[in-house]
Amino acid sequence: MPQVSAPTTQATGRVVRSPHAAWLRVEGHWQWYRRHWHSTLFSSIAQPILFLVAMGMGFGSQVEPSEATRNLPYLVYLAPAMLVVGALQNAVGESSYPVLSGFKWQKDYWAVTATPITPGQLLAGQQIWIALVIGFNGCAFVLIATLLGAVQSPGILLSLLAMVLTGMACSAPVVALAATVTNDGNAFNGIFRFVVMPMTLFSGTFFPVSQLPEWAQPVVWLSPLWHGTELSRAAAFGGAEFGPVFGHVAYLVGLFALGIWLARWRFRRRLVV
């Protein structure tokens, strides 16, 4: 029979500091990803490539290079824009149900904040993880697009920066939303159908914004995807001017900052009560 001994338990009492704490969270995501990466492969990498093939090569076979396509083959014209569309879809996908699940189904956010890690660090870890995923998927896209002959200049490597920035600008507000909803995430359906879908179609990805009716153009300025697409094409095809580039970057950074600020508020509200 085991003898009862005096208490010997001693907590470590260690509190991890901020950047390191967020990074620990990223490591947690990585553990998950190592087991499940194959299941996300399709939506994250194959899907944008399929759109590139279908629209760039299939539909593009019917398109004559013209001023509307910057006198480029349609496939080449489309590639830097599809790169950013991929970022948008990845960002929204990674920021919606996975984040809600952390609060609602899997409840791992509650488990994490029961440790010395704070809600703010948890959020930072989530955002860093999403940025890494988007960046990785972007590299894979560029590689495959190059093999398909959709890339003509190394400028597309610069487009990757625009892509990650756009992804983060779209991710942060959705994370804030996911931290707010309590039902089964019906709001995300609305986001997918009424925001992501029309944004994908009408932000100059497939055809120039100038083809839209005049009244619609100011609406397009609100679309982070349009700003990202402009940046990405400028990087890939050259001809960037400082003014517009600064404006696009400022808008995207602003949206990201707003989203983070809202998300931080919502994370605290929900996890620290």
Partner 1 sequence: MSTTQTDTRVVSPLLRIAPTGMYARRARMLVERSVLVSRKMWLIILSGFFEPLFYLLAFQVGFGKLVETVQGPGGQTMSYVAFVAPALLASSAMNGAVYDSTFNIFFKMRYQRLYEGVLATPLGPLDIAMGEISWALVRGVLYAVAFFAVVSGMGLVTSPWALLMVPVAILIAFAFAAIGMAATTWIRSTTDFGLIQLVLIPMFLFSTTFFPLSVFPGAVQVIIQIFPLYHGVELMRGLATGVLDPSMLGHLAYLVVLAVVGMLVAARRLRVLLLR
Partner 2 sequence: MTTVGDGVLVQANGLVKRFGEFTAVGGIDVAVRKGEAFGFLGPNGAGKSSTMRMVACVSPRTEGELSVLGMDPDRDGPRIRARLGVVPQLDNLDTELTVRQNLQVYGRYFGLSRATVRAKATELMEFAQLSERADDEVEPLSGGMKRRLTIARSLVNDPELLLLDEPTTGLDPQARHLLWDKLYRLKQQGVTLIITTHFMDEAEQLCDRLVVMDHSRIVAEGAPSALIKQYSTREVLELRFNPGEQQDALDNGVADLVERIEVLPDRLLLYTENGESTLETAHAKGIRPLSSLVRRSTLEDVFLRLTGRSLVD
Structure tokens at 215: 């009244």
1 contacts partner 2 (rule: CB under 8 A): yes
Q: Please, is 35 exposed, middle or buried when counting C-beta atoms within 10 Å of its C-beta (0-12, 13-18, 19+)?
A: exposed
Between CA 244 and CA 65 the distance in angstroms is 25
In the complex, which residues of this chain contact partner 1 (CB under 8 A)? 36, 39-43, 46-47, 50-51, 53-55, 58-59, 61-63, 66, 68-69, 74, 97, 105, 184, 186, 189-190, 193-194, 197-198, 201-202, 206-207, 211-213
CA-based nearest residue to 146, from 133, 135, 134, 159 = 159
Structure tokens at 158: 């610069």
For tokens 């942060």, name the residue.
Answer: 172
Taking the complex as a whole, the smallest distance from the CB of residue 64 to partner 1 amounts, in Å, to 8
Residue type, 113: T
Residue type, 117: I
Between CA 257 and CA 180 the distance in angstroms is 18
Taking the complex as a whole, the smallest distance from the CB of residue 99 to partner 2 amounts, in Å, to 20
Q: Please, is 16 exposed, middle or buried when counting C-beta atoms within 10 Å of its C-beta (0-12, 13-18, 19+)?
A: middle
Per CB under 8 A, the segment of 2-10, 52-60, 81-89, 258-266 that binds partner 2 is 2-10
62 contacts partner 2 (rule: CB under 8 A): no
Looking at beta carbons only, is 74 or 267 nearer to partner 1? 74
Looking at beta carbons only, is 209 or 262 nearer to partner 1? 209
- Under DSSP, the state recorded for 46 is I
Looking at beta carbons only, is 105 or 221 nearer to partner 2? 105
Taking the complex as a whole, the smallest distance from the CB of residue 107 to partner 2 amounts, in Å, to 15
3 contacts partner 2 (rule: CB under 8 A): yes
Taking the complex as a whole, the smallest distance from the CB of residue 4 to partner 2 amounts, in Å, to 5
Q: DSSP letters of 218-242?
A: HHHHT-HHHHHHHHHHHHHH----H
2 contacts partner 2 (rule: CB under 8 A): yes
Per CB under 8 A, the segment of 1-9, 13-21, 141-149, 265-273 that binds partner 2 is 1-9
Which of partner 2, partner 1, none binds 222 (CB below 5-8 Å, type-dependent)? none
8 contacts partner 2 (rule: CB under 8 A): no
**Contact positions toward partner 2, by CB under 8 A?**
1-4
